[in-house]
């Protein structure tokens, strides 16, 4: 009788920027919940991440893949004639198509060939790319070249090129994290062979405080009587930390003791924005009201100590995992009403929704919640029930695995079947560094 072995699934997370965002956190939770008797995960990260140590401890092989990034700037961008041509629909589309082709040959293809060597070394049954059709184009093309089934997790509202649309057709399943993301793909005329909407799930056992709120507040120097709110996420323009700073200025005139935590590291594209935020805090004398914590590993403790959790993205948020984390801890949330957020935050029932980029609206919502403990309790309880009902990790993992175009157990024993596609190829020195299980 032929032995059955777990299906080998290679997960690619291409996010970079020196922070651990929602995409990688979602993968982290998913890998905690996957049945290792049925699936053998391998992970490829495009930069060093704190998550790597946990994955290795779980016995998961981790590769750090260094992709050569080409500069997006070129001298013509300063030429007035070129600027006018870009604004014209016909010539603008032609220039955009040419730029996509240039980046494909200069950046995508070299990475593709390195990934082909990795795929042939690891011999996966399935490639699961964790970002989207554009950010993962190199892996999608590599999967097509090696004839390995590919699943693409679409987690954003990116613009797609004609090359993204072309190679998306080779992807077996596109998993959109919200219906809003799926609508965006339809508007952009990009599609895999199958397109599904599967909401992320939370590892509720893994996301819980390790100490009570009083202890956390004591460490922060904030008493239990002081109103405490906060925003969690890497500091970057579209996350809207400036809106929060401006709103706290308004709230302070009514609640002078207000404290606000800005939790998160600075994204590599957010250095100037972070400096601007710090400058505003100092200019308006908010140093006592706003606390920058930087990157923290004890986010559940910080959220549990808050009276209200704020989400203030000024651009459409594909999902907003931090919102669910606050709801899971029974915290009332205020979020912006764009992107996928309204699919799980119902204004007045499971949270409060405000327009993006409007500090006054955010300030009014904060004051209303902070002055009514009954309202905070009701929204917090309803939010937690919503998370328990719709966003369990078991549900998420089950739906993802059901979407996989491979059986739970592999159809062949690798020792008795050696397809030509799995020919071993030595990796070029310096193209990859592998961290295997201890």
The 10s digit of each residue's pLDDT in 398-417 is 999 999 997 544 444 444 34
- Average pLDDT of the segment spanning 334-351: 96
| Three-state secondary structure call for residue 241 | helix
Q: Is a pLDDT exceeding 80 seen at residue 341?
A: yes
pLDDT at 15: 85
Does residue 426 surpass a pLDDT of 90?
no
Q: Do 254 and 365 have their domain in common?
A: yes
Q: List the beta strands (DSSP E) in 105-172.
A: 126-129, 150-154
Q: Is residue 151 in a domain?
A: yes
Q: Do 265 and 384 belong together in one domain?
A: yes
User: Residue 383 has what pLDDT?
Assistant: 97
- Residue 302's nearest CA partner among 211, 379, 370 is 211
**Is pLDDT of 312 > 70?**
yes
What is the spatial order of strands in the sheet that 432-435 belongs to?
194-197, 173-176, 150-154, 126-129, 7-13, 39-45, 61-65, 432-435
Q: Let me know whether 109 and 146 are in one domain.
A: yes
Same domain, 26 and 114: yes
Nearest to 403 by CA among 94, 191, 196, 117: 196
CA-to-CA dists, residue 171 to 124, 238, 385, 427, angstroms: 15, 30, 35, 25
Same domain as 179, residue 38: yes
Q: Does a structural domain hold residue 207? A: no
Q: Is residue 67 part of a domain?
A: yes
User: In whole angstroms, what is the distance from residue 253 CA to residue 258 CA?
Assistant: 10
Contact 217, 228 (CB under 8 A): yes
Distances (CA, A) of 288 to 106, 224, 266: 49, 16, 21
Quick one: pLDDT at residue 89?
A: 66
The parent domain of residue 21 ranges over 7-201+392-435
**One domain for residues 30 and 115:** yes
Residue 344 scores a pLDDT above 60:
yes
Shared domain check, 185 and 317 = no
Q: Give the model's confidence band at 106: pLDDT under 50 very low, under 70 low, under 90 confident, else very high.
A: confident
Q: For the CA atoms of 237, 238, 239, 245, what is the dihedral angle to 10 degrees? A: 50
Sorted by sequence, the CB contacts under 8 Å of residue 153 that are 6+ apart come out as 128, 129, 130, 131, 132, 175, 177
- List the single range of 111-115, 206-210, 298-302 with lowest mean pLDDT: 206-210
334 lies in the same domain as 243: yes
Query: Cβ distance 197 to 178 under 8 Å?
Result: yes
**82 and 222 part of one domain:** no
Q: How many domains does the chain have?
A: 2
Closest CA to 294 of 233, 228, 379: 233
Are 371 and 409 within one domain?
A: no
- How many residues in the chain? 438
Q: Name which of 315, 314, 334 is nearest 323 in CA terms.
A: 334
**Would you say residue 424 lies in a domain?**
yes
Tell whether 369 and 428 lie within a shared domain. Answer: no
Residue 260 within a domain: yes
% pLDDT > 70, the chain: 84
Beta bridge partners of 44: 12, 63
Tell me, what CATH number does 91's domain have? 3.40.50.2000
Are 23 and 169 members of one domain? yes
Structure tokens at 262: 């800005």
Q: Which band of pLDDT confidence, cut at 50, 70 and 90, is reported for residue 421?
A: very low
Does 76 reside within a domain? yes
Which letter does DSSP use for residue 195 in this model? E
Q: Which positions ≥6 away from 335 have C-beta within 8 Å? A: 310, 311, 317, 320, 323, 341, 345, 351, 352, 353, 354
Domain contains 98: yes
Would 206 be classed as within a structural domain? no
H or E segment at 260? strand 259-263
Q: Residue 73: pLDDT above 70?
A: no
């Amino acid at each position: 009788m032929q032995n059955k072995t777990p299906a080998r699934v290679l997960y690619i997370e291409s996010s970079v920027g020196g922070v651990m965002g929602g995409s990688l956190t979602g993968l982290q939770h998913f890998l905690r919940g996957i049945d290792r008797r049925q699936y053998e995960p391998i992970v490829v990260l495009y930069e060093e991440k704190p998550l790597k140590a946990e994955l290795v401890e779980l016995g998961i092989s981790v590769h750090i893949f260094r992709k050569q990034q080409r500069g997006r700037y070129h001298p013509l961008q300063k030429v007035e004639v070129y600027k006018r041509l870009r604004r014209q629909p016909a010539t603008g589309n032609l220039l955009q198509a040419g730029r996509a082709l240039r980046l494909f040959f200069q950046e995508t293809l070299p990475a593709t060939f390195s990934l082909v060597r990795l795929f042939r070394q690891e011999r996966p049954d399935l490639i699961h790319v964790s970002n989207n059709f554009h950010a993962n184009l190199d892996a999608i093309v590599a999967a097509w070249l090696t004839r390995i089934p590919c699943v693409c997790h679409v987690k954003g509202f990116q613009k797609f090129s004609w090359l993204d649309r072309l190679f998306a057709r080779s992807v077996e399943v596109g998993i959109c994290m919200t219906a809003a993301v799926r609508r965006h793909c339809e508007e952009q005329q990009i599609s895999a062979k199958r397109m599904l909407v599967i909401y992320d799930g939370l590892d509720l056992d893994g996301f819980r405080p390790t100490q009570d709120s009083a202890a956390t507040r004591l460490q922060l120097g904030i008493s239990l009587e002081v109103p405490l709110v906060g925003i969690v996420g890497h500091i970057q323009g579209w996350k809207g930390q400036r809106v929060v700073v401006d709103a706290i200025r308004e709230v302070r005139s009514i609640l002078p003791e207000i404290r606000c935590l800005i939790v998160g590291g600075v994204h590599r594209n957010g250095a100037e924005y972070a400096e601007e935020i710090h400058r505003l805090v100092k200019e308006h004398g908010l140093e006592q009201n706003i606390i920058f914590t930087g990157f923290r590993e004890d986010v559940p403790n910080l959220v549990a100590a808050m009276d209200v959790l704020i989400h203030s993205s000024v651009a459409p948020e594909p999902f907003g995992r931090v919102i669910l984390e606050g709801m899971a801890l029974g915290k009332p949330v205020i979020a912006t009403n764009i992107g996928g957020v309204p699919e799980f935050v119902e204004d007045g029932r499971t949270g409060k929704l405000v327009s993006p980029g409007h500090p006054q609206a955010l300030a009014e919502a904060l004051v209303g919640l902070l002055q009514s403990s009954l309202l905070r309790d009701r929204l917090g309880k309803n939010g937690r029930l919503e998370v328990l009902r719709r966003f369990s990790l078991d549900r998420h993992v089950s739906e993802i695995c059901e979407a996989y175009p491979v059986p739970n157990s592999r159809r062949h024993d690798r020792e008795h079947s050696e397809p030509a596609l799995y020919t071993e190829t030595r990796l070029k020195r310096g193209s990859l560094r592998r961290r295997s299980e201890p």
